[in-house]
Structure 1
Amino acid sequence: MSEKEFETCFNKHYETFCLRVALIINDRDVAEDLVQEAFVKFWENKPAVLNQESIPAYISKMAVNNALMYLRTRRQTGIKYEELKLSTPLEADSTEAQLDAKETENLVTKALLGLPPACRQVFILSRYEEMSYKEIAEELDISVKTVENHIGTALKRLRAALLSLLLLAWQNFI
């Protein structure tokens, strides 16, 4: 991977990775540090076995693993989590489709932020990081049944939150 390709990858995926990690750890500033650390580690090691298409997924996984290690360290030292500091997303391009996608993403993000932290973390690992229930249970040191319960709770709450937002949008439309 050339330096130019790496820079393009960074510019394309940095904000998304930061949002993903911030949803896990509830701290935007620390999330940025952890994502930057993942990009630096990748650049320093540059695994030769990866094809170009899998590089973003690899770096994303590194960033999420950094977040999980951060949480584990915080939990072990007894430090309480800080409230999530929301930041503005990157400006969307001017096309209407991209604006709609960004608005939808923001609504989903707000709904995710309404979940209890443990439930949100399990949901993100399952749906965004595509980890199996067993992998999540091992990573977080919880039972598979607890993972199932968190996913069920998350889906119920997200459906309710997004349905009410959809109904509000529909009422404003009429």
Structure 2
Amino acid sequence: MSAIADIQAGDPFVFEQVYEEYYLKLYHFVLGKTRSEWLAEEVTQTTFVKLWENRQRLNPEIALSLQVFRIARTTMIDYIRKQNHLSFALTQLKSKPEAAANELDAKIDYNETNRKLAKALTELPEMRRKVFELSRLEGMSYKDIAEQLSISVKTVEKHISKALQQLRPLLYGILLIGWILRNFIKNI
């Protein structure tokens, strides 16, 4: 059995071996790109968390090293973007406090909405959640989802429809609360 198949099967011993083999390589890769020990440590740890959490998505036809470094690269880019957004927000807050505060409120609302949506997704049945995430979050076509999950396109359509029915009350509630808050703030 290959390391990828063992990791997909949830073998912690093989995962630990992969961790030991790639930890320093990833750390030095990120450190070389960012010159930040803290960021190198964060990205390396997050890479292994993502590798474990998404182990079912590993492709046995692609070298494990390539997949591990791809996860690390993407994770590093995400961290750098977050740092840049934070730096920009702090600069805005210093130069235009009122406008920056409004923008910050909008981002907080966005993050709160994402948290609520993520919680609602966990309440969907597993297959419905997988189909919804592949379609709406990863942008896959119904046909590609059907092939990946070995189900029919009609089944994909039904899962999407039922997921939207289940999520719609939450989404309407979030939109309504946001509208009420914006109008309340305008009238103060």
TM-score norm. by structure 1 comes to 0.48
Structure 1 or 2: more helix by fraction = 2
Greater relative contact order (Cα 8 A, min sep 6): structure 1 or 2?
1
Larger radius of gyration: 2
